[in-house]
Amino acid sequence: MKLALKVNDRDNVATIFAQGIESGTIVEVRDQKGNVECVAVGEAVPYGHKIAVRAIRAGERILKYGEEIGVATKDINKGGYVHVHNLDSMRGRGDLRGEGE
């Protein structure tokens, strides 16, 4: 079985820890409590990258490790690949600070 890890209960993404993830691959998403959910991946996902563990709407915050890492730029289906093509990063974004900061 292919593995993905969801680190925090708040997370809406999990990180893939397997090679050869293609569209239709079933991965076991595990959390720190030992819960397991099987999710069908919607497209090829490289090792160490993220998938959505539930549907995420455009404009919704992406949560990884319990932290907001970005905003969905379009709707992402459960099992969808979450990366720069559908995520606008919030990290290191000086343009998102208020005036005078």
pLDDT tens digits, 7-48: 999 999 999 999 999 999 999 999 999 999 999 999 999 999
> How many other C-beta atoms lie within 10 A of the C-beta of residue 79?
25
pLDDT tens digits, 40-79: 999 999 999 999 999 999 999 999 999 999 999 999 999 9
Compute the mean pLDDT over every residue in the chain, rounded to the nearest whole number: 91
Rounded distance between C-alpha atoms, residue 25 and residue 27, angstroms: 6
2-96 is classed CATH 2.30.130.110: yes
Where residue 93 falls among pLDDT bands split at 50, 70, 90? low
Distances (CA, A) of 54 to 57, 58, 59, 73, 94: 10, 13, 15, 16, 30
